[in-house]
Protein backbone atom coordinates (compact mmCIF):
# COMPACT_ATOMS: atom_id res chain seq x y z
CA UNK A 1 0.00 0.00 0.00
CA UNK A 2 1.31 3.45 -0.94
CA UNK A 3 1.08 6.27 1.58
CA UNK A 4 1.45 9.96 0.74
CA UNK A 5 2.45 12.03 3.76
CA UNK A 6 2.67 15.79 3.23
CA UNK A 7 2.67 18.78 5.51
CA UNK A 8 0.75 21.41 3.61
CA UNK A 9 -1.03 20.98 0.29
CA UNK A 10 -1.54 18.34 -2.39
CA UNK A 11 -2.79 19.60 -5.77
CA UNK A 12 -4.02 17.14 -8.39
CA UNK A 13 -5.41 17.30 -11.93
CA UNK A 14 -3.85 20.40 -13.37
CA UNK A 15 -3.33 18.76 -16.75
CA UNK A 16 -7.04 17.81 -17.08
CA UNK A 17 -6.28 14.06 -17.16
CA UNK A 18 -8.01 11.40 -15.05
CA UNK A 19 -6.14 9.54 -12.32
CA UNK A 20 -6.87 6.73 -9.84
CA UNK A 21 -5.06 6.54 -6.50
CA UNK A 22 -5.65 3.60 -4.15
CA UNK A 23 -3.10 4.46 -1.48
CA UNK A 24 -3.53 6.47 1.74
CA UNK A 25 -3.19 10.24 2.01
CA UNK A 26 -2.40 11.44 5.54
CA UNK A 27 -1.00 14.32 7.58
CA UNK A 28 2.62 14.12 8.67
CA UNK A 29 1.82 14.38 12.37
CA UNK A 30 2.88 17.99 12.82
CA UNK A 31 0.93 19.74 10.10
CA UNK A 32 -2.38 19.47 8.26
CA UNK A 33 -2.61 18.32 4.67
CA UNK A 34 -5.21 19.83 2.36
CA UNK A 35 -6.17 18.30 -0.98
CA UNK A 36 -7.17 20.37 -4.00
CA UNK A 37 -8.62 18.88 -7.19
CA UNK A 38 -8.20 21.07 -10.28
CA UNK A 39 -8.59 20.46 -13.99
CA UNK A 40 -11.50 18.93 -15.86
CA UNK A 41 -10.54 15.27 -15.37
CA UNK A 42 -11.51 12.80 -12.65
CA UNK A 43 -9.40 11.94 -9.62
CA UNK A 44 -10.54 8.66 -8.05
CA UNK A 45 -9.53 7.89 -4.45
CA UNK A 46 -10.17 4.48 -2.89
CA UNK A 47 -7.91 4.51 0.14
CA UNK A 48 -8.82 5.04 3.81
CA UNK A 49 -7.46 8.58 3.89
CA UNK A 50 -6.92 10.47 7.15
CA UNK A 51 -5.70 13.93 6.13
CA UNK A 52 -7.43 16.73 8.05
CA UNK A 53 -6.74 19.93 6.16
CA UNK A 54 -9.85 19.82 4.01
CA UNK A 55 -10.69 19.05 0.40
CA UNK A 56 -11.35 21.50 -2.43
CA UNK A 57 -12.75 20.56 -5.84
CA UNK A 58 -12.06 23.57 -8.06
CA UNK A 59 -12.91 21.76 -11.29
CA UNK A 60 -13.65 18.32 -12.63
CA UNK A 61 -14.67 15.33 -10.53
CA UNK A 62 -13.30 13.97 -7.28
CA UNK A 63 -14.59 10.42 -6.89
CA UNK A 64 -14.43 8.45 -3.66
CA UNK A 65 -14.48 4.66 -4.00
CA UNK A 66 -13.56 3.77 -0.41
CA UNK A 67 -15.87 1.04 0.93
CA UNK A 68 -16.63 0.47 4.62
CA UNK A 69 -19.05 -1.91 6.28
CA UNK A 70 -19.81 0.53 9.10
CA UNK A 71 -19.34 4.21 9.83
CA UNK A 72 -15.65 4.94 10.11
CA UNK A 73 -13.27 7.76 11.03
CA UNK A 74 -11.57 7.52 7.64
CA UNK A 75 -12.90 8.15 4.14
CA UNK A 76 -11.82 8.85 0.59
CA UNK A 77 -11.84 12.53 1.53
CA UNK A 78 -9.78 12.41 4.70
CA UNK A 79 -10.60 12.27 8.40
CA UNK A 80 -14.31 11.66 8.70
CA UNK A 81 -15.44 14.06 11.43
CA UNK A 82 -17.74 17.03 11.50
CA UNK A 83 -15.16 19.33 13.10
CA UNK A 84 -12.34 19.12 10.53
CA UNK A 85 -11.82 18.46 6.86
CA UNK A 86 -14.36 20.69 5.16
CA UNK A 87 -15.13 19.72 1.57
CA UNK A 88 -15.38 22.77 -0.70
CA UNK A 89 -17.01 22.32 -4.11
CA UNK A 90 -16.24 24.97 -6.72
CA UNK A 91 -13.57 27.59 -7.31
CA UNK A 92 -14.08 30.65 -5.11
CA UNK A 93 -11.68 32.56 -7.36
CA UNK A 94 -14.37 32.61 -10.03
CA UNK A 95 -14.83 31.13 -13.46
CA UNK A 96 -17.31 28.69 -14.90
CA UNK A 97 -15.74 25.31 -14.20
CA UNK A 98 -18.09 22.52 -13.17
CA UNK A 99 -17.10 20.71 -9.98
CA UNK A 100 -18.41 17.34 -8.77
CA UNK A 101 -18.10 15.31 -5.58
CA UNK A 102 -18.88 11.74 -6.65
CA UNK A 103 -19.25 8.59 -4.54
CA UNK A 104 -18.47 5.20 -6.06
CA UNK A 105 -18.10 3.17 -2.86
CA UNK A 106 -20.88 2.18 -0.48
CA UNK A 107 -21.17 2.03 3.30
CA UNK A 108 -19.59 5.31 4.44
CA UNK A 109 -21.34 8.19 6.19
CA UNK A 110 -19.42 11.33 5.26
CA UNK A 111 -19.47 13.66 8.26
CA UNK A 112 -17.40 16.47 6.77
CA UNK A 113 -19.17 19.82 6.30
CA UNK A 114 -19.67 20.64 2.62
CA UNK A 115 -19.33 24.23 1.39
CA UNK A 116 -20.40 25.46 -2.04
CA UNK A 117 -17.99 28.09 -3.33
CA UNK A 118 -19.34 31.47 -4.34
CA UNK A 119 -18.24 33.48 -7.42
CA UNK A 120 -18.20 30.47 -9.74
CA UNK A 121 -20.98 30.00 -12.30
CA UNK A 122 -20.19 26.33 -12.86
CA UNK A 123 -22.54 23.52 -11.87
CA UNK A 124 -21.71 22.19 -8.40
CA UNK A 125 -22.76 18.57 -7.92
CA UNK A 126 -22.88 15.88 -5.25
CA UNK A 127 -23.66 12.44 -6.65
CA UNK A 128 -23.12 8.71 -6.72
CA UNK A 129 -22.25 6.21 -9.43
CA UNK A 130 -22.10 2.44 -9.79
CA UNK A 131 -24.63 -0.31 -9.22
CA UNK A 132 -25.70 -0.44 -5.55
CA UNK A 133 -24.14 2.59 -3.90
CA UNK A 134 -25.79 3.93 -0.73
CA UNK A 135 -24.20 7.06 0.65
CA UNK A 136 -24.94 9.38 3.57
CA UNK A 137 -23.71 12.93 4.09
CA UNK A 138 -24.25 14.15 7.67
CA UNK A 139 -22.15 17.31 7.86
CA UNK A 140 -24.61 19.61 6.16
CA UNK A 141 -24.25 21.87 3.12
CA UNK A 142 -23.66 25.63 3.25
CA UNK A 143 -22.15 28.31 1.02
CA UNK A 144 -23.52 30.65 -1.61
CA UNK A 145 -24.34 28.77 -4.78
CA UNK A 146 -26.75 26.23 -6.23
CA UNK A 147 -26.56 22.52 -5.38
CA UNK A 148 -27.21 19.72 -7.86
CA UNK A 149 -27.74 16.20 -6.49
CA UNK A 150 -27.01 13.53 -9.11
CA UNK A 151 -28.40 10.16 -8.01
CA UNK A 152 -26.87 8.10 -10.77
CA UNK A 153 -26.19 4.76 -9.07
CA UNK A 154 -28.36 2.02 -10.55
CA UNK A 155 -30.23 1.24 -7.33
CA UNK A 156 -28.39 3.08 -4.58
CA UNK A 157 -29.51 5.98 -2.42
CA UNK A 158 -28.19 9.36 -1.34
CA UNK A 159 -29.11 10.61 2.13
CA UNK A 160 -28.41 13.99 3.71
CA UNK A 161 -28.86 13.46 7.45
CA UNK A 162 -28.30 15.21 10.80
CA UNK A 163 -27.30 18.67 9.57
CA UNK A 164 -29.36 20.67 7.12
CA UNK A 165 -28.80 21.66 3.54
CA UNK A 166 -28.67 25.43 3.90
CA UNK A 167 -26.86 26.89 0.92
CA UNK A 168 -27.88 30.33 -0.25
CA UNK A 169 -29.33 29.18 -3.55
CA UNK A 170 -31.28 26.28 -5.00
CA UNK A 171 -31.31 22.49 -4.63
CA UNK A 172 -32.03 20.25 -7.66
CA UNK A 173 -32.27 16.45 -7.81
CA UNK A 174 -31.29 14.87 -11.15
CA UNK A 175 -29.83 11.54 -12.25
CA UNK A 176 -30.78 8.31 -13.97
CA UNK A 177 -30.63 6.00 -10.95
CA UNK A 178 -33.66 4.34 -9.41
CA UNK A 179 -32.76 4.99 -5.78
CA UNK A 180 -34.34 7.69 -3.63
CA UNK A 181 -32.59 10.88 -2.59
CA UNK A 182 -33.58 11.61 1.02
CA UNK A 183 -32.98 14.85 2.90
CA UNK A 184 -33.66 13.97 6.54
CA UNK A 185 -31.48 16.69 8.03
CA UNK A 186 -33.87 19.34 6.81
CA UNK A 187 -33.65 22.35 4.52
CA UNK A 188 -32.46 25.67 5.93
CA UNK A 189 -33.91 29.12 5.38
CA UNK A 190 -31.24 30.17 2.88
CA UNK A 191 -32.53 27.74 0.25
CA UNK A 192 -34.87 29.47 -2.19
CA UNK A 193 -36.11 26.49 -4.20
CA UNK A 194 -36.06 22.68 -4.28
CA UNK A 195 -36.60 20.93 -7.61
CA UNK A 196 -37.19 17.30 -8.55
CA UNK A 197 -35.87 16.89 -12.09
CA UNK A 198 -35.25 13.15 -12.41
CA UNK A 199 -37.41 10.66 -14.27
CA UNK A 200 -36.32 7.75 -12.04
CA UNK A 201 -34.87 8.96 -8.73
CA UNK A 202 -37.53 10.08 -6.27
CA UNK A 203 -36.79 12.99 -3.92
CA UNK A 204 -37.98 12.87 -0.30
CA UNK A 205 -37.51 15.71 2.18
CA UNK A 206 -38.26 14.07 5.54
CA UNK A 207 -36.69 16.82 7.64
CA UNK A 208 -38.35 20.19 8.17
CA UNK A 209 -38.11 22.87 5.50
CA UNK A 210 -37.40 26.22 7.17
CA UNK A 211 -38.65 29.24 5.26
CA UNK A 212 -36.82 32.55 5.50
CA UNK A 213 -38.12 35.16 7.94
CA UNK A 214 -38.50 37.71 5.16
CA UNK A 215 -40.71 38.51 2.22
CA UNK A 216 -40.13 36.42 -0.86
CA UNK A 217 -40.84 32.95 -2.16
CA UNK A 218 -39.67 29.43 -1.39
CA UNK A 219 -40.47 27.11 -4.30
CA UNK A 220 -41.06 23.35 -4.37
CA UNK A 221 -41.02 22.15 -7.99
CA UNK A 222 -41.42 18.91 -9.90
CA UNK A 223 -40.15 19.24 -13.47
CA UNK A 224 -39.99 15.54 -14.31
CA UNK A 225 -41.86 12.30 -13.61
CA UNK A 226 -40.37 10.92 -10.37
CA UNK A 227 -42.17 11.74 -7.10
CA UNK A 228 -41.26 14.68 -4.90
CA UNK A 229 -42.39 14.00 -1.32
CA UNK A 230 -42.19 16.39 1.63
CA UNK A 231 -42.90 14.58 4.90
CA UNK A 232 -41.07 16.80 7.38
CA UNK A 233 -43.38 19.78 7.16
CA UNK A 234 -42.42 23.43 7.10
CA UNK A 235 -41.49 26.00 9.71
CA UNK A 236 -40.24 29.60 9.89
CA UNK A 237 -41.41 32.26 7.46
CA UNK A 238 -43.36 35.44 8.12
CA UNK A 239 -46.62 37.01 7.00
CA UNK A 240 -45.18 37.93 3.59
CA UNK A 241 -43.47 34.61 2.87
CA UNK A 242 -44.91 32.47 0.06
CA UNK A 243 -44.54 28.71 -0.31
CA UNK A 244 -44.99 28.13 -4.04
CA UNK A 245 -45.88 24.62 -5.25
CA UNK A 246 -45.13 23.90 -8.92
CA UNK A 247 -45.98 20.47 -10.31
CA UNK A 248 -44.94 21.04 -13.91
CA UNK A 249 -45.16 17.32 -14.64
CA UNK A 250 -47.90 14.89 -15.62
CA UNK A 251 -47.37 12.81 -12.47
CA UNK A 252 -50.41 12.43 -10.22
CA UNK A 253 -49.52 13.74 -6.75
CA UNK A 254 -46.14 14.61 -8.26
CA UNK A 255 -45.66 16.89 -5.27
CA UNK A 256 -46.94 15.18 -2.12
CA UNK A 257 -46.82 16.92 1.26
CA UNK A 258 -47.59 14.26 3.86
CA UNK A 259 -47.21 13.20 7.50
CA UNK A 260 -46.24 16.54 9.04
CA UNK A 261 -48.11 19.86 9.04
CA UNK A 262 -47.19 22.81 6.88
CA UNK A 263 -46.43 24.90 9.94
CA UNK A 264 -44.75 28.00 8.55
CA UNK A 265 -46.09 31.53 8.78
CA UNK A 266 -47.18 32.97 5.45
CA UNK A 267 -49.15 31.81 2.43
CA UNK A 268 -49.30 28.92 -0.06
CA UNK A 269 -49.73 29.16 -3.82
CA UNK A 270 -50.09 26.38 -6.39
CA UNK A 271 -48.77 27.55 -9.76
CA UNK A 272 -47.70 24.39 -11.58
CA UNK A 273 -47.99 24.22 -15.36
CA UNK A 274 -48.42 20.43 -15.58
CA UNK A 275 -51.50 18.24 -15.55
CA UNK A 276 -50.34 16.23 -12.53
CA UNK A 277 -51.83 17.10 -9.16
CA UNK A 278 -50.38 18.45 -5.93
CA UNK A 279 -51.43 16.58 -2.77
CA UNK A 280 -51.31 18.03 0.75
CA UNK A 281 -52.26 15.35 3.29
CA UNK A 282 -50.18 16.36 6.30
CA UNK A 283 -52.35 19.28 7.32
CA UNK A 284 -52.13 23.06 7.03
CA UNK A 285 -51.27 24.97 10.19
CA UNK A 286 -52.75 28.12 11.70
CA UNK A 287 -49.86 30.27 10.48
CA UNK A 288 -51.12 30.03 6.90
CA UNK A 289 -53.38 32.96 6.03
CA UNK A 290 -54.18 32.06 2.44
CA UNK A 291 -54.02 29.18 -0.04
CA UNK A 292 -54.33 30.04 -3.72
CA UNK A 293 -54.84 27.71 -6.68
CA UNK A 294 -53.39 29.47 -9.72
CA UNK A 295 -52.00 26.68 -11.90
CA UNK A 296 -53.08 23.98 -14.32
CA UNK A 297 -52.10 21.37 -11.75
CA UNK A 298 -55.08 20.33 -9.55
CA UNK A 299 -54.64 21.06 -5.83
CA UNK A 300 -55.99 18.50 -3.34
CA UNK A 301 -55.89 19.00 0.44
CA UNK A 302 -56.84 15.65 1.96
CA UNK A 303 -56.82 13.52 5.13
CA UNK A 304 -55.79 16.18 7.65
CA UNK A 305 -57.64 19.42 8.31
CA UNK A 306 -56.79 23.00 7.49
CA UNK A 307 -56.40 24.88 10.78
CA UNK A 308 -57.60 28.41 10.10
CA UNK A 309 -55.51 31.37 11.23
CA UNK A 310 -56.82 33.57 14.04
CA UNK A 311 -57.09 36.45 11.58
CA UNK A 312 -58.79 34.25 9.00
CA UNK A 313 -57.70 31.94 6.19
CA UNK A 314 -58.66 32.55 2.57
CA UNK A 315 -59.02 29.80 -0.05
CA UNK A 316 -58.83 31.27 -3.57
CA UNK A 317 -59.37 29.70 -6.97
CA UNK A 318 -57.80 31.85 -9.71
CA UNK A 319 -57.79 29.30 -12.52
CA UNK A 320 -60.09 26.65 -13.96
CA UNK A 321 -58.18 23.69 -12.48
CA UNK A 322 -59.81 22.14 -9.39
CA UNK A 323 -59.07 23.17 -5.82
CA UNK A 324 -60.50 20.44 -3.57
CA UNK A 325 -60.41 20.33 0.23
CA UNK A 326 -61.43 16.94 1.65
CA UNK A 327 -59.43 16.96 4.89
CA UNK A 328 -61.80 19.27 6.73
CA UNK A 329 -61.41 22.63 8.42
CA UNK A 330 -60.79 23.36 12.10
CA UNK A 331 -59.20 26.04 14.29
CA UNK A 332 -60.36 29.41 15.58
CA UNK A 333 -60.84 32.01 12.90
CA UNK A 334 -62.92 32.81 9.84
CA UNK A 335 -62.87 30.90 6.54
CA UNK A 336 -63.10 32.98 3.35
CA UNK A 337 -63.88 31.25 0.04
CA UNK A 338 -63.09 32.96 -3.29
CA UNK A 339 -63.83 31.35 -6.62
CA UNK A 340 -62.44 34.03 -8.92
CA UNK A 341 -62.51 31.71 -11.96
CA UNK A 342 -65.38 30.85 -14.25
CA UNK A 343 -65.64 27.15 -13.41
CA UNK A 344 -68.57 26.27 -11.18
CA UNK A 345 -67.75 24.14 -8.11
CA UNK A 346 -64.04 23.96 -9.04
CA UNK A 347 -63.49 25.22 -5.49
CA UNK A 348 -65.09 22.58 -3.29
CA UNK A 349 -65.01 21.39 0.32
CA UNK A 350 -65.92 17.72 0.51
CA UNK A 351 -65.81 14.65 2.80
CA UNK A 352 -64.44 15.77 6.20
CA UNK A 353 -66.14 18.17 8.62
CA UNK A 354 -65.87 21.94 8.21
CA UNK A 355 -65.93 23.13 11.81
CA UNK A 356 -63.85 26.24 12.40
CA UNK A 357 -64.83 28.36 15.37
CA UNK A 358 -65.86 31.39 13.37
CA UNK A 359 -67.63 32.23 10.14
CA UNK A 360 -67.69 31.07 6.53
CA UNK A 361 -68.04 33.64 3.76
CA UNK A 362 -68.10 33.34 -0.03
CA UNK A 363 -66.69 36.47 -1.70
CA UNK A 364 -65.40 35.38 -5.13
CA UNK A 365 -65.85 37.10 -8.47
CA UNK A 366 -66.26 33.92 -10.56
CA UNK A 367 -68.22 30.67 -10.45
CA UNK A 368 -70.03 28.72 -7.76
CA UNK A 369 -68.49 27.22 -4.61
CA UNK A 370 -69.62 23.83 -3.30
CA UNK A 371 -69.54 22.59 0.30
CA UNK A 372 -70.68 18.96 0.33
CA UNK A 373 -68.93 18.22 3.62
CA UNK A 374 -70.88 18.55 6.85
CA UNK A 375 -70.65 21.87 8.69
CA UNK A 376 -70.17 21.66 12.45
CA UNK A 377 -71.63 23.56 15.36
CA UNK A 378 -68.57 25.79 15.85
CA UNK A 379 -69.52 27.77 12.75
CA UNK A 380 -71.54 30.82 13.80
CA UNK A 381 -72.38 32.43 10.46
CA UNK A 382 -72.42 31.65 6.73
CA UNK A 383 -72.47 34.56 4.28
CA UNK A 384 -72.94 34.65 0.50
CA UNK A 385 -71.43 37.78 -1.08
CA UNK A 386 -70.14 36.50 -4.40
CA UNK A 387 -70.94 36.55 -8.10
CA UNK A 388 -71.40 32.76 -7.89
CA UNK A 389 -73.67 30.58 -5.78
CA UNK A 390 -72.60 29.14 -2.46
CA UNK A 391 -74.13 25.66 -2.52
CA UNK A 392 -74.13 23.58 0.66
CA UNK A 393 -75.24 19.97 0.24
CA UNK A 394 -73.78 18.63 3.47
CA UNK A 395 -75.77 18.68 6.73
CA UNK A 396 -75.35 21.71 8.99
CA UNK A 397 -75.27 21.37 12.78
CA UNK A 398 -76.46 24.66 14.20
CA UNK A 399 -74.49 26.65 16.74
CA UNK A 400 -76.30 28.32 19.66
CA UNK A 401 -77.17 30.90 17.01
CA UNK A 402 -76.33 30.33 13.35
CA UNK A 403 -76.88 33.25 10.99
CA UNK A 404 -77.26 32.76 7.23
CA UNK A 405 -76.84 35.93 5.16
CA UNK A 406 -77.00 36.90 1.50
CA UNK A 407 -75.28 40.28 1.20
CA UNK A 408 -75.03 40.62 -2.57
CA UNK A 409 -75.87 44.14 -3.68
CA UNK A 410 -76.70 42.94 -7.20
CA UNK A 411 -76.79 39.85 -9.37
CA UNK A 412 -78.62 36.58 -8.88
CA UNK A 413 -76.34 34.45 -6.72
CA UNK A 414 -77.96 32.34 -4.06
CA UNK A 415 -77.02 30.89 -0.72
CA UNK A 416 -78.46 27.51 -1.63
CA UNK A 417 -78.61 24.85 1.11
CA UNK A 418 -79.87 21.32 0.48
CA UNK A 419 -78.12 19.37 3.23
CA UNK A 420 -80.58 20.14 6.00
CA UNK A 421 -80.12 21.29 9.59
CA UNK A 422 -79.79 19.52 12.92
CA UNK A 423 -78.25 20.23 16.30
CA UNK A 424 -79.32 22.56 19.08
CA UNK A 425 -79.48 26.25 18.34
CA UNK A 426 -81.46 28.99 16.63
CA UNK A 427 -81.35 29.70 12.90
CA UNK A 428 -81.44 33.30 11.64
CA UNK A 429 -82.07 34.02 7.94
CA UNK A 430 -80.98 37.43 6.61
CA UNK A 431 -81.58 37.98 2.92
CA UNK A 432 -80.12 41.47 2.74
CA UNK A 433 -80.10 41.40 -1.05
CA UNK A 434 -82.70 42.05 -3.73
CA UNK A 435 -82.33 38.50 -5.05
CA UNK A 436 -85.49 36.40 -5.18
CA UNK A 437 -84.92 33.26 -3.11
CA UNK A 438 -81.51 34.69 -2.21
CA UNK A 439 -81.52 32.27 0.70
CA UNK A 440 -82.99 28.90 -0.24
CA UNK A 441 -83.34 25.94 2.12
CA UNK A 442 -84.31 22.91 0.03
CA UNK A 443 -84.42 19.09 -0.12
CA UNK A 444 -83.38 17.84 3.35
CA UNK A 445 -85.37 18.87 6.40
CA UNK A 446 -84.72 21.86 8.62
CA UNK A 447 -84.80 20.18 12.03
CA UNK A 448 -82.67 22.14 14.45
CA UNK A 449 -83.76 22.12 18.08
CA UNK A 450 -84.44 25.84 18.23
CA UNK A 451 -86.20 28.62 16.38
CA UNK A 452 -86.09 29.88 12.79
CA UNK A 453 -86.29 33.64 12.21
CA UNK A 454 -86.41 35.52 8.89
CA UNK A 455 -85.16 39.06 9.48
CA UNK A 456 -83.32 40.26 6.36
CA UNK A 457 -83.13 43.90 5.29
CA UNK A 458 -83.26 43.32 1.53
CA UNK A 459 -86.20 43.18 -0.84
CA UNK A 460 -85.48 39.61 -1.97
CA UNK A 461 -87.47 36.75 -0.54
CA UNK A 462 -86.26 33.79 1.54
CA UNK A 463 -87.49 30.37 0.43
CA UNK A 464 -87.87 27.30 2.65
CA UNK A 465 -88.97 24.45 0.39
CA UNK A 466 -87.51 21.79 2.67
CA UNK A 467 -89.75 20.33 5.35
CA UNK A 468 -89.72 21.83 8.84
CA UNK A 469 -89.02 19.08 11.36
CA UNK A 470 -90.54 18.29 14.72
CA UNK A 471 -87.52 19.62 16.64
CA UNK A 472 -88.08 23.20 15.47
CA UNK A 473 -89.52 25.14 18.41
CA UNK A 474 -90.87 28.12 16.51
CA UNK A 475 -90.95 29.99 13.19
CA UNK A 476 -90.85 33.80 13.02
CA UNK A 477 -91.21 36.23 10.11
CA UNK A 478 -89.73 39.57 11.23
CA UNK A 479 -88.70 41.45 8.10
CA UNK A 480 -90.70 44.29 6.61
CA UNK A 481 -88.93 43.92 3.26
CA UNK A 482 -87.87 40.29 2.77
CA UNK A 483 -90.87 38.01 2.57
CA UNK A 484 -90.68 34.40 3.74
CA UNK A 485 -92.00 31.71 1.42
CA UNK A 486 -92.92 28.25 2.77
CA UNK A 487 -93.43 25.57 0.13
CA UNK A 488 -92.48 22.40 1.97
CA UNK A 489 -94.64 19.70 3.49
CA UNK A 490 -94.44 20.67 7.15
CA UNK A 491 -96.69 18.08 8.74
CA UNK A 492 -94.04 17.20 11.35
CA UNK A 493 -93.77 20.80 12.57
CA UNK A 494 -96.09 21.19 15.56
CA UNK A 495 -94.97 24.44 17.18
CA UNK A 496 -96.08 28.01 16.63
CA UNK A 497 -95.51 30.56 13.88
CA UNK A 498 -95.22 34.31 14.55
CA UNK A 499 -95.63 36.97 11.89
CA UNK A 500 -94.19 40.05 13.60
CA UNK A 501 -93.54 42.05 10.44
CA UNK A 502 -93.84 41.62 6.69
CA UNK A 503 -95.26 38.80 4.65
CA UNK A 504 -95.34 35.02 4.56
CA UNK A 505 -96.24 33.10 1.39
CA UNK A 506 -97.80 29.75 2.25
CA UNK A 507 -97.66 27.35 -0.69
CA UNK A 508 -98.99 24.22 1.00
CA UNK A 509 -101.96 23.44 3.20
CA UNK A 510 -99.66 22.47 6.07
CA UNK A 511 -97.13 25.26 5.51
CA UNK A 512 -97.52 26.22 9.19
CA UNK A 513 -97.39 22.64 10.38
CA UNK A 514 -100.03 20.86 12.39
CA UNK A 515 -101.50 22.07 15.66
CA UNK A 516 -99.29 25.09 16.18
CA UNK A 517 -100.73 28.56 16.73
CA UNK A 518 -100.15 31.28 14.12
CA UNK A 519 -99.63 34.62 15.88
CA UNK A 520 -100.08 37.77 13.82
CA UNK A 521 -98.44 40.97 15.11
CA UNK A 522 -97.36 41.60 18.70
CA UNK A 523 -98.30 43.67 21.72
CA UNK A 524 -95.77 46.44 21.15
CA UNK A 525 -95.72 47.26 17.45
CA UNK A 526 -97.96 48.23 14.59
CA UNK A 527 -96.14 46.69 11.62
CA UNK A 528 -98.38 45.53 8.80
CA UNK A 529 -98.35 41.76 8.39
CA UNK A 530 -99.73 39.49 5.68
CA UNK A 531 -100.23 35.83 4.87
CA UNK A 532 -100.71 34.95 1.18
CA UNK A 533 -101.24 31.89 -0.89
CA UNK A 534 -98.48 32.01 -3.47
CA UNK A 535 -99.36 33.15 -7.02
CA UNK A 536 -101.78 30.48 -8.24
CA UNK A 537 -102.53 28.70 -4.98
CA UNK A 538 -105.47 28.95 -2.62
CA UNK A 539 -105.00 29.63 1.08
CA UNK A 540 -106.33 27.12 3.60
CA UNK A 541 -105.00 27.43 7.13
CA UNK A 542 -105.98 24.77 9.64
CA UNK A 543 -104.04 26.35 12.50
CA UNK A 544 -105.52 28.61 15.15
CA UNK A 545 -104.80 32.30 14.48
CA UNK A 546 -104.19 34.76 17.33
CA UNK A 547 -104.30 38.57 17.08
CA UNK A 548 -102.43 40.05 20.10
CA UNK A 549 -103.39 43.66 19.27
CA UNK A 550 -106.20 45.38 17.43
CA UNK A 551 -104.35 48.38 15.97
CA UNK A 552 -102.39 46.91 13.09
CA UNK A 553 -102.90 46.09 9.43
CA UNK A 554 -103.32 42.43 8.56
CA UNK A 555 -103.96 40.83 5.18
CA UNK A 556 -105.13 37.24 4.79
Query: With 0-12 CB in 10 A as exposed, 13-18 as middle and 19+ as buried, what is 526?
Result: exposed
pLDDT of residue 525: 54
Instruction: Supply the DSSP symbol for 332.
Output: B
| Dist. CA 543–CA 546, nearest whole Å | 10
pLDDT of residue 552: 40
End-to-end distance of the chain based on CA atoms, in angstroms?
Answer: 112
| Dist. CA 500–CA 346, nearest whole Å | 41
Q: Which CA distances in Å does 63 have to 20, 56, 129, 538?
A: 9, 12, 9, 93
pLDDT of residue 12: 65
pLDDT of residue 56: 94
pLDDT of residue 526: 55
Global confidence as pTM: 0.92
Residue 138 and residue 158 in contact, taking contact as beta carbons nearer than 8 Å: no
**152 CA to centre of own chain:** 32
Q: Is 19 left (phi over 0), alpha (psi -120 to 50) or beta?
A: beta
| Dist. CA 110–CA 141, nearest whole Å | 12
Query: With 0-12 CB in 10 A as exposed, 13-18 as middle and 19+ as buried, what is 406?
Result: buried
Q: Which CA distances in Å does 45 have to 61, 64, 67, 102, 249?
A: 11, 5, 11, 10, 38
pLDDT of residue 349: 98
pLDDT of residue 313: 99
- CA-nearest of 305, 294, 251 to 270 is 294
One digit per residue, the tens of pLDDT, for the chain of length 556 reads 444 444 455 566 567 778 888 888 888 766 678 889 999 999 998 888 888 888 999 999 999 887 654 335 667 676 665 546 799 999 999 999 999 999 988 877 888 999 999 999 999 999 999 888 889 999 999 999 999 999 998 888 999 999 999 999 999 999 999 999 999 999 999 999 999 999 999 999 999 999 999 999 999 999 999 999 999 999 999 999 999 999 999 999 999 999 999 999 999 999 999 999 999 999 999 999 999 999 999 999 999 999 999 999 999 999 999 999 999 999 999 999 999 998 899 999 999 999 999 999 999 999 999 999 999 999 999 999 999 999 999 999 999 999 999 999 878 899 999 999 999 999 999 999 999 999 999 999 999 999 999 999 999 999 999 999 999 999 999 999 999 999 999 999 999 999 999 999 989 889 999 988 888 876 555 566 667 765 444 444 555 555 554 444 445 5
Q: Which residues pair with 417 in a beta bridge?
A: 392, 441
pLDDT of residue 97: 97
Number of alpha carbons in the 13 Å side-chain half-sphere of residue 297: 30
| Dist. CA 398–CA 429, nearest whole Å | 13
pLDDT of residue 545: 58
pLDDT of residue 70: 39
Domain ranges, ordered by start, for the chain:
1-151, 305-375, 395-556
pLDDT of residue 240: 96
Amino acid sequence: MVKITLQQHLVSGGDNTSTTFSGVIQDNGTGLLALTKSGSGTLTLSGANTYTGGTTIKAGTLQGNYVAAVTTTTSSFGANTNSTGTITIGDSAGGSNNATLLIGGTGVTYAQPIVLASNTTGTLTIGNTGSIISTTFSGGVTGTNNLTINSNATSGTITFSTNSINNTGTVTNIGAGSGTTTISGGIGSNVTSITENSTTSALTVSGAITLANSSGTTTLKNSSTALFTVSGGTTGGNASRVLDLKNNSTTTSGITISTTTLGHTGTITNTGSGSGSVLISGGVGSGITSITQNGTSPLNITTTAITVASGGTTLTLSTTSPFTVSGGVTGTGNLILRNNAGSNNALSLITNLVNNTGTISNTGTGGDVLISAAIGSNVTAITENSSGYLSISGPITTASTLTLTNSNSSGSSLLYITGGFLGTGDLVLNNNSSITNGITLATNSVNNTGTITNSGSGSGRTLISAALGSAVTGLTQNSTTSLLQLSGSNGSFTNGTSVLAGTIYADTANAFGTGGIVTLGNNTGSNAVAIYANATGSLSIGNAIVFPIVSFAFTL
